[in-house]
Amino acid sequence: MKMVDLGEFRVNIQQRLLYRQQEELAAEPKVIEVLCYLIEHPDRFVSLQELHQQVWHGRVVTDTAVRRTISKLRTLLGDNDNEQPKYIRSQMKRGYQLVCPAVQSSDNMAIQPLDNRAVSSAKPRLFKLSWVKQLVLGCLASAVVLVTALLWFASPVQLHTHLMQVELDIPGQKASLAVSPDSRYQAFVGRISSGDNWQLYLYDRHKGQLSKVDTPVPHVRFVDFVADGSALAYVGFRQDVAELYIQPLADLSAAPRQYIMAGLPILAGPMALPDNQLLIAAGKSYNGNIHYYQLDIESGSYSQFSYSSAAAVQDAYARLSPDKQHLALIRANIAERKLYLQLYRLADKELVKEHKLSDQLLDMRLSWLAKDALLLKQQQQFLWFNINTGQLERVAASAEHIKEFVTDKSGYFAAIYRKPAEQQLYQTPWPYTDGFSQHLQMHAQVQFVQYSHDQAFYWLTEQLGHYYQLSRFYRDSGKKQLVMQSEAPFVLLDQAAAHLLLLKRLNRLELMDTRSGDLVHLSLSTQQIDQGVFSDDGRYVYFAAASGGNWQIVQYDIELATQRVILNDYRVLQPYKAGFIAAAVDGSVWLLDQSMQRVTKLYQGIHYDLHYQLALRGDNLNILHRNLMSDWELVSINLNSGQHWQRKLAYSEFSPQFSLDKSGNELLFFKPKIDNDQIVSFGYNFGYNSLF
């Protein structure tokens, strides 16, 4: 797929698509054909006769029809000045020429079908081992995954790992790192073993002393230093309800003060503000609006800080500027799948600047570098943002093992560093009770291993350099056969006949024919999509799509290449005998009859903003999902007998990378080795060249 930038537009030459600011523009096919032909011949005029032959392929059309197409193209591009054209100029008897430079895009998203005969001998090691239950640590769903590099204004810089100093190295996972204003204390939440709750810890760097802070709630999720560093503000959970406490550091044995925020059971991310104030994100439900509130620590009174009139808008990751005059945060519009950077003036809560960051709900974090500079992290890409100009620049840096970091204006930088661990792939009987039958040790580039309908091979997804590859991995020989290569990440959702695969890439569903390498888009670029499955006969694909925040089940006819809405307010639909299995937007799972009317409620409790999957195998409905404590719920329901099996696993004892075989008797899943997080420190100065 060839992508080129043309002024404010982006053109997908291969798929004949036109975008402006990442929004696909509606255009007649011949209009795009003409544009692409002009892009491919930029150094000369293209005559009317040549357009007749190359775009209309010799079909009899009038010159007027060709000129009308050019006129439509100019209107689409906003190129209405014939005297000083921005994109296309015309000359009597010579034709048309592109005058705006067409530059190959720096982030081409190419999918390249590869010769199926190209076979590599790369072979993961295969072992048969007895089961040894390991102590592994859970991971917070909201753990901040942040960067390892800072920069001096517009100068990208690299992290020098030899400058990293280990401050604390004890077993266990850690999250929500906070540093006191004088940099003496560090606070974080962690758990030593996978069966433990998340607990609150305080580390004195001067004394080298680590203390566990007793709390009245079983799970503590977020913490920060407040009141000029004299107290800890933390959020804990009692079942699904959040509670806010403040603990004086002078006496850790003293009972903490609880703050009640009536009608707001969801709390997250407390952050210190000047004048004995704090900021906290709060909302009524995980699927609704979540905004920031400013709380007075002395009186306990609070008022809303950020607002939105739209539904499903959530604010997160607020950070205070070094001069304590402004506040930056990330705003996610869930319904529209957009991310924004917002900048507020603290004194009057005024929104002074907003910048759209992404048209996808990506992992995005931020930190201040100076009063006019922010460092952003978008998944694995780091960006420097100039607040004055709104300019974004890429930063060359690695954050492979940094989970989160905190900085202060004195030049102190602390981070949670995840020590590398090899990926461990396990094959086990399903339902998964204990033990495993096979263990494969995979190299770090392997992202996913899935069962195929052919027992001879697995589907193997890898990231090799800047490319993502899908291969057949043959169990007996250990060889792999390359099927597809892409510059954009993708997920294999389902497979029908041996040659048809259902893929999700860049928020679109694609049907791939592995024999020819042909790809067809099933969903529209304007649709927000979720999971999808083939029908039993392979004629249809059922998938969930949202429009304006409302979820619908869409049926795509593969032969006719058409889609139609068949059900509202559902997120999953899978055919079953004469009816369907369906998951509603409220997290309930139902057996539906042929007319899609509810018959039996099968399950309740799926959270769609967390990892989940429904897999129907014969008469067994298998549900694997995460709960609000980030742990895994493994469920199997026999639809004939009604027998219900369920097991809970700590987050780190399972993973989103799992696959059930066609029979529903075997499970593949990744499980890391014991994951020990270190607290590390670096140094930098605002306004001076960084040590990174």
For residue range 586-606, what is the model confidence (pLDDT) as tens digits? 999 999 999 999 999 999 999
Q: Which residue has the higher pLDDT, 376 or 236?
A: 236
Q: Which residue has the higher pLDDT, 118 or 512?
A: 512
- Residues 6+ away with beta carbon under 8 Å from 208: none
What three-state secondary structure class fits 214? Answer: coil
DSSP state letters, 318-383: EEE-TTSSEEEEEEEETTTTEEEEEEEETTTTEEEEEEEEESS---EEEEEEETTEEEEEETTEEE
Q: Which of 100-104, 541-545, 642-646, 686-690 has the lowest mean pLDDT?
A: 686-690
Distance from C-alpha of 375 to C-alpha of 364, rounded to nearest angstrom:
10
- Residues 6+ away with beta carbon under 8 Å from 45: 91, 94, 95, 96, 97
Q: Which residues pair with 508 in a beta bridge?
A: 505
Distance from C-alpha of 525 to C-alpha of 521, rounded to nearest angstrom:
9
* The 632-638 sheet, strands edge to edge: 612-617, 620-626, 632-638, 644-649
Q: Measure CA 431 to chain center.
A: 29
Distance from C-alpha of 233 to C-alpha of 180, rounded to nearest angstrom:
12
The tokens describing 100, both together, are 């705006």
229 touches 264 (CB < 8 A): no
- What letter represents residue 247's amino acid? Q
What three-state secondary structure class fits 28? Answer: coil
Each residue's pLDDT tens digit, 41-100: 888 889 988 888 888 876 777 788 888 888 888 888 888 777 778 889 888 778 899 888
Give the residue from 274, 271, 304, 272 showing the smallest Cα distance to 289: 304
- Residues 6+ away with beta carbon under 8 Å from 106: none
Q: How many angstroms separate the Cα of 346 from the Cα of each of 326, 330, 540?
A: 5, 16, 53
Distance from C-alpha of 458 to C-alpha of 481, rounded to nearest angstrom:
10
Note the pLDDT of residue 146.
Answer: 28
Distance from C-alpha of 541 to C-alpha of 555, rounded to nearest angstrom:
6
Q: Which residue has the higher pLDDT, 267 or 170?
A: 267
Q: Which CATH number fits domain 3-108: 2.60.120.380, 3.40.50.1820, 1.10.10.10, 3.90.1150.10?
A: 1.10.10.10
Q: Which helix (H) or strand (E) holds 10?
A: strand 9-12
- What letter represents residue 256's amino acid? P
Mean pLDDT of 546-571: 91
DSSP state letters, 377-432: EETTEEEEEETTTTEEEEE----SSEEEEEE-TTSEEEEEEEPP--EEEEEEESS-
* DSSP 8-state symbol, 162: G
Distance from C-alpha of 318 to C-alpha of 320, rounded to nearest angstrom:
7
Rounded to two decimals, what is the model's pTM? 0.55
- Residues 6+ away with beta carbon under 8 Å from 315: 281, 290, 291, 292, 306, 329, 330, 331, 332, 342
Note the maximum CA span of the chain.
Answer: 90
Q: Which residue has the higher pLDDT, 357 or 437?
A: 357
- Residues 6+ away with beta carbon under 8 Å from 675: 136, 137, 139, 173, 418, 419, 421, 652
Model confidence at 29, pLDDT cuts 50, 70, 90, reads confident
Residue 445, burial from CB neighbour count under 10 angstroms (0-12, 13-18, 19+): middle
Residue with tokens 């009057």: 348
Q: How many CB atoms lie within 10 A of CB 266?
A: 20
What CATH number has the domain spanning 167-367? Answer: 2.120.10.30
Helices 29-40 and 63-77: crossing angle in degrees, nearest 10, is 80
b/e burial code for range 54-76 (CB count within 10 A of at least 16 → b):
ebbeeeeeeeeebeebbeebbeb
- Residues 6+ away with beta carbon under 8 Å from 633: 605, 623, 624, 625, 626, 627, 646, 647, 648
Note the pLDDT of residue 471.
Answer: 94
Model confidence at 326, pLDDT cuts 50, 70, 90, reads very high
Domain boundaries along the sequence of the chain: 3-108, 167-367, 491-604
The fold of the 491-604 domain, in CATH, is: Methylamine Dehydrogenase; Chain H (2.130.10)
Q: Which of 60-74, 398-412, 509-523 is the most confident on average?
A: 509-523
Note the pLDDT of residue 16.
Answer: 82
Q: How high does pLDDT run on average in the chain? A: 82
Distance from C-alpha of 473 to C-alpha of 326, rounded to nearest angstrom:
53
